[in-house]
Amino acid sequence: MSVFLRRVRLIALKEYKHILRDPFTLAVALLLPLLFVLFFGFIIDLDYKHIPLVVRDNDQSPLSRRFLRQLSAAGYFDLAPAHGMLAAQAALRRNDTAGVLVIKKDFGKNIMKGDFTAPARAQLLLDGSDNTKAAMAQAYMTGALLKINADFTRLYHADAAAANPDALVRTRFLFNPELNSRWFIVPALNTVIIGFLAIVLTALTVAREWENGSMELLLSTPVRAAEIVLGKLIPYFTLTLFDVLAVFVLSLYVFGIPFLGSFVLFTFACCVYITGALALGLVISVITRNQQAAIQFAFAAGLLPSFIFSGFIFPVENMPLFFRIFTGLFPQRWFLSLSRSMFLSEASFAALAGPMAGIIIFAGVMVFAAVKKLKTDVEP
């Protein structure tokens, strides 16, 4: 074994001991991602099972009531009748409801006739200001309608081919017509968790050694900066890789997200992304040399890019030009796009090359910066 590798190993072994003897850090590192993904996953699930919906039934026929009963039985919507259109609109404006379902007068009559060529007999008006919620509501409505449609066509012998959900209920988005309706939260969770946790974990390590003075001692020995940096990275790398894989398994088996891409490529991308995030934490640690400052920096450097610049909450493609370029500085954006493409599509390697290059460059620059900054010239 070369001197270099031997020293990397000894720094890493020492760091493992520190981690194992600090149950709090270990618990945070291992349990936080799981809690995070479970909370996130289930809160999304629970919240959207009972979407409040105001209903204005202008038809008041047995058929319209049957329709509403079935819709209610599907469990996605909590229906509340509105007395008059004005009351319905007021509820929408007061933000008391996610949308309004309006059933027109001849709803029942047209269905009895089996006439699917007439204009929609019901309209769903959704509050698009919360696009995720609106998209979910629409998706649930579509699902519920498919079932109800099948039921109605069987009952009234209408032309099944014509009976698509749109013909029965027509949806319009209010407030935000360009709705992004993909299901994309869970595949993006790894990006957010690692982009945050990894930075915080390593931000503490070097700062801790500066604070108790041992970094000075390390630097007075023949050990070199690169050996310290790699030795510090390895234990946290294994820890975070475990996190990534755990979240991956949860995504697939608890939340039933499909994974269509290449698992090998995904693992590779995870390794690169983790390295970059951990190295950024080290850079912060080396610069601040103080655990409190390091943790604050790490929060800023982890939270904002993970949630805002990554496209997790706001789609990057909708951002102004400056921010589209600016977000490119953050690996979270590239990894998020990789993660979504790999979960939801069988993207070719060529399509992934750009984001892949983004995270590789970031990881390289960060490792280099950490080593460079730690190099012998260490003025406080």
Q: Which residues bind another protein (CB under 8 A)?
A: 3, 6-7, 10, 14, 17-18, 21-22, 212-214, 216-223, 376-380
Using CA atoms, how far residue 81 sits from 14, 53, 122, 273, in Å, is 66, 9, 15, 50
Tokens 């509820």 belong to residue:
91
Rounded distance between C-alpha atoms, residue 85 and residue 218, angstroms: 75
| Closest approach of another protein to the CB of residue 294, in Å | 17
CA angle at 15 for the pair 11 and 20, rounded to the nearest 5° = 150
Rounded distance between C-alpha atoms, residue 281 and residue 275, angstroms: 10
Burial group, residue 302, by CB count within 10 angstroms (0-12, 13-18, 19+): buried
| Closest approach of another protein to the CB of residue 20, in Å | 9
Closer to another protein by CB, 210 or 266: give it: 210
Closer to another protein by CB, 105 or 289: give it: 289
Using CA atoms, how far residue 10 sits from 21, 137, 241, in Å, is 17, 55, 21
Rounded distance between C-alpha atoms, residue 49 and residue 70, angstroms: 15
Using CA atoms, how far residue 14 sits from 3, 17, 120, 234, in Å, is 17, 5, 69, 11
| Closest approach of another protein to the CB of residue 13, in Å | 8
Please name which of 339, 214, 205, 215 lies closest in space to residue 279, comparing C-alpha atoms.
205
Closer to another protein by CB, 117 or 221: give it: 221
Closer to another protein by CB, 10 or 35: give it: 10
Closer to another protein by CB, 38 or 219: give it: 219
211, 294 Cβ separation under 8 angstroms: no
Closer to another protein by CB, 14 or 109: give it: 14
Closer to another protein by CB, 6 or 324: give it: 6
| Closest approach of another protein to the CB of residue 197, in Å | 22
| Closest approach of another protein to the CB of residue 42, in Å | 36
Burial group, residue 321, by CB count within 10 angstroms (0-12, 13-18, 19+): exposed
Closer to another protein by CB, 86 or 217: give it: 217
| Closest approach of another protein to the CB of residue 271, in Å | 27
| Closest approach of another protein to the CB of residue 310, in Å | 35
Closer to another protein by CB, 3 or 325: give it: 3
Rounded distance between C-alpha atoms, residue 256 and residue 278, angstroms: 29
Closer to another protein by CB, 256 or 380: give it: 380
| Closest approach of another protein to the CB of residue 204, in Å | 14
State both tokens at 287: 């610069």
Tokens 């449609």 belong to residue:
149
Q: Side chain identity at 101, as an amino acid letter? A: L
| Closest approach of another protein to the CB of residue 23, in Å | 11
In 3-state terms, what secondary structure has residue 290? coil
Long-range contacts made by residues 297-301, C-beta under 8 angstroms, separation at least 24?
A: 297/203, 298/199, 298/200, 298/203, 298/204, 299/200, 301/199
| Closest approach of another protein to the CB of residue 9, in Å | 9
